[in-house]
A and B are shown apart, each in its own frame.
Chain A
Amino acid sequence: MKGLRLLRWSGSVLSPRTRPCCFLHKYQYQYRAQPFNLFRLQSSAAVPTRTIPEPEDDTLPPDPTDYTLLPSPPPSRAHSSARLSALHARLVLPPRLPLETLARCLIDPSADVNPNFNNASLSILGHDLLGYYTSEAILCRYPRLPTEVTLAAVYAYCGSKTLAAITREWGVEVAAAPGGEVDPGFLQCARQEAGNASVNGTGTQLKDLSNLSEEVSTRPNPEQQMRGWRQGASSKTVYDDYFGDEIKRTETDYSERPELRQEDAQRKAERRVTLEQASTGFVRALMGAVYLHAGKKACYNFFKAHVLSRHLDVSRLFEFRQPTRDLSKLCAREGFESPVARMLSETGRKSRHPVFVVGVFAGKDKLGEGSGGSLDEARIRAAVGALKGWYLYSPLEVRVPSEATEGKPWEPVLVDGGEVVV
């Protein structure tokens, strides 16, 4: 398996922020509070014929140190931020990752729409890396997990809630409002107003407004999806993201296919995000930045240290509806004898708190055991125990596919038939 050489084409992703230079001047003109641009770079269109009423005191160029003209802190200020370098040291980031890139990771697209200065591109790369590393770790460690549980486990490791918690635990603070004058060590994002906040002067709540409707899914026939069409578990592996959630149309989709925008005329004009979304974007962008600057190995170590080392009890993710039926189907599929529940011991059958211990047997093999206050409860617990024993099988030596690119010969891992279909 051949590793992708992302460093070769990552120049377009990295260039502006990593090279602090005299970029600031051009950038400021781009964002001056003017009706339209006076400075037209690489444009072949005709010069606008409107004359601009020029104020008399406009002869002076704008002050290059007036950072309030910028939507986000310029890269040149990254080295003067104590908060930023403390964050760099706290996370033990590789020294090859410059402070400018770390500062760029902290700028959400809601704060700065310019893709050269926000973390959108890094975040896309980091999301794919996080999803890839997490799902390969779970699939190789628990090859028999049902699809739904696999998706939930991936979500528990690198879902948006977890990444927001990671941001909090890293000690990253959020700027009250984004701007060029803000310390670059803060997470910069334009915060969404709470849904229960009322619109000025009216009693209407924000969530009741029609223009705040749901974003549109990328699945085929999105308008029919909204009518409650059923979505099977296996379709999630085809259409949806790493966690089984629908993928929504993004700005990139609209720029590639502008006709989509007219279809979704109800979308909000101004994009504001929740703190959870901004934190998620930051952690993903940092993951992508570590990959681009320090390489694959450093990226995987960073992932292991901060994401995979977190604690998750996978056996608590299951929710069975009819475990006894599932178990008999599973035994039929695997060629075992059909399961029989037998009582192993009991106490106080006529008392207020009886306890029954029931085992589930296939032939002479005991598949599971459970205890409960009634015979039915004990039997169901025994079936759940047997099913978890099957689904949570874990090989002794776990190897993941990404290791195969590091020179070690690859040995195939177990691919299971999946969960039973009832």
Chain B
Amino acid sequence: MPVTALRTTSTAQNGVGAFILQCKRLDFHYCDQWGSSKGMNTFLCSPLIASFAKAHPQITIHISPRPNTHPIIRGTYINGREKVICVRNLEKEQILQKVELLRDANGEKVKRVKGGRVVGSLNEGVRGVWDPFHGGNKDILGDRIVIN
């Protein structure tokens, strides 16, 4: 048997070919009585939400009352996680900022990226890993190494 093969799967690189927006659902919850929902109710009645929904047809938008609580926005993501933001006492422009934050999130837990400039790649480096046996002009003479 000269050579056999190992079965694997290819890995996705979102954005290299197609880009799939990771946010797939936004739930808006408001309250008719509480004053903390004032900005949220204005937002839901304003053209802001309609224009947002039109610009993002890949997100399903659900609006429902949640009486006697603060208003929240809940984003559901393709990886199955959720992200919830409480928007009590916020103006409608501030709420739009939160909506855009939820839209741009990928649903992963927020993690600190240590080390300053971190670049991740699936490909091997073109130069390879440094090793002491290549690159320098070395001659081996018996047990003595001469470095020119």
Q: Does any Cβ of A come within 8 Å of B6's Cβ?
A: yes
Tell me whether A316 and B60 are in contact in the complex, defined as CB-CB below 8 angstroms, given that A171-B78, A305-B18, A309-B13 are known contacts.
no
A419, B21: Cα distance in complex, Å: 43
Q: Are A157 and B17 in contact (CB under 8 A)?
A: no
A131, B136: Cα distance in complex, Å: 48
* Chain A positions within 8 Å of B21 at CB level: 90
Q: Does any Cβ of A come within 8 Å of B125's Cβ?
A: no
Residue of A nearest to B122 (CB): A311
Most-contacted residue by chain B among A310, A387, A419 (CB, 10 A): A310
What does the 1/0 interface line of B5-21 toward A look like (CB < 8 Å)?
A: 11111111110111011
A321, B5: Cα distance in complex, Å: 11
* Chain B positions within 8 Å of A326 at CB level: 2-3
What does the 1/0 interface line of A286-325 toward B look like (CB < 8 Å)?
A: 0000000000000000001110111111001111110000
A164, B82: Cα distance in complex, Å: 22
What does the 1/0 interface line of B79-120 toward A look like (CB < 8 Å)?
A: 000000000000000000000000000000000000000000
Q: Are B2 and A91 in contact (CB under 8 A)?
A: no
Q: Does any Cβ of A come within 8 Å of B33's Cβ?
A: no
Q: Are B2 and A345 in contact (CB under 8 A)?
A: no
A205, B133: Cα distance in complex, Å: 58
Question: Nearest Cβ in chain B — how far from A335, in angstroms?
Answer: 19
Residue of A nearest to B121 (CB): A311
Q: Are A161 and B5 in contact (CB under 8 A)?
A: no
Q: Does any Cβ of A come within 8 Å of B148's Cβ?
A: no
Q: Are A311 and B18 in contact (CB under 8 A)?
A: no
Q: Are B1 and A82 in contact (CB under 8 A)?
A: no
Question: Nearest Cβ in chain B — how far from A290, in angstroms?
Answer: 13
* Chain B positions within 8 Å of A92 at CB level: 18
Tell me whether A82 and B60 are in contact in the complex, defined as CB-CB below 8 angstroms, given that A148-B4, A170-B20 are known contacts.
yes
- Give which listed residue, B3, B58, B60, B131, contacts A318 with CB less than 8 A: B3
Q: Are A347 and B20 in contact (CB under 8 A)?
A: no
Question: Nearest Cβ in chain A — how far from B81, in angstroms?
Answer: 12
What does the 1/0 interface line of A17-46 toward B look like (CB < 8 Å)?
A: 000000000000000000000000000000
Question: Nearest Cβ in chain B — how far from A319, in angstroms?
Answer: 5
Q: Are B17 and A419 in contact (CB under 8 A)?
A: no
Q: Are B8 and A319 in contact (CB under 8 A)?
A: no
Q: Are B57 and A85 in contact (CB under 8 A)?
A: yes
Q: Does any Cβ of A come within 8 Å of B73's Cβ?
A: no
Q: Are A149 and B24 in contact (CB under 8 A)?
A: no
Question: Nearest Cβ in chain A — how far from B102, in angstroms?
Answer: 15
Q: Are B10 and A311 in contact (CB under 8 A)?
A: yes
For chain A, the bracket of interface size reads 35 or more
A186, B138: Cα distance in complex, Å: 65
* Chain A positions within 8 Å of B9 at CB level: 156, 159, 161-162, 165
Q: Are A316 and B57 in contact (CB under 8 A)?
A: no
Most-contacted residue by chain B among A151, A309, A371 (CB, 10 A): A309
* Chain A positions within 8 Å of B142 at CB level: none
Q: Are A319 and B3 in contact (CB under 8 A)?
A: yes
Q: Does any Cβ of B come within 8 Å of A283's Cβ?
A: no
A420, B12: Cα distance in complex, Å: 33
Residue of B nearest to A357 (CB): B133
Residue of A nearest to B124 (CB): A313
Q: Are B7 and A155 in contact (CB under 8 A)?
A: yes
A326, B4: Cα distance in complex, Å: 12
A304, B7: Cα distance in complex, Å: 21
* Chain B positions within 8 Å of A86 at CB level: 24, 57-60
Most-contacted residue by chain A among B1, B5, B14 (CB, 10 A): B5
Q: Does any Cβ of A come within 8 Å of B132's Cβ?
A: yes
Tell me whether A149 and B17 are in contact in the complex, defined as CB-CB below 8 angstroms, given that A156-B10, A165-B12 are known contacts.
no
Q: Which of A110-166 contact B (CB under 8 A)?
A: 146, 148-149, 151-153, 155-157, 159, 161-162, 165-166
**14 pairs, CB–CB < 8 Å, chain A vs chain B:** A87-B58, A152-B8, A168-B78, A305-B17, A310-B10, A311-B11, A311-B122, A312-B11, A317-B8, A318-B6, A319-B3, A319-B4, A319-B5, A371-B131
Query: What residues make up the interface of A, taking CB atoms closer than 8 Å to B?
Result: 82-83, 85-92, 146, 148-149, 151-153, 155-157, 159, 161-162, 165-166, 168-171, 304-306, 308-313, 316-321, 326, 329, 344-345, 347, 355, 357, 371, 387, 391, 419-422
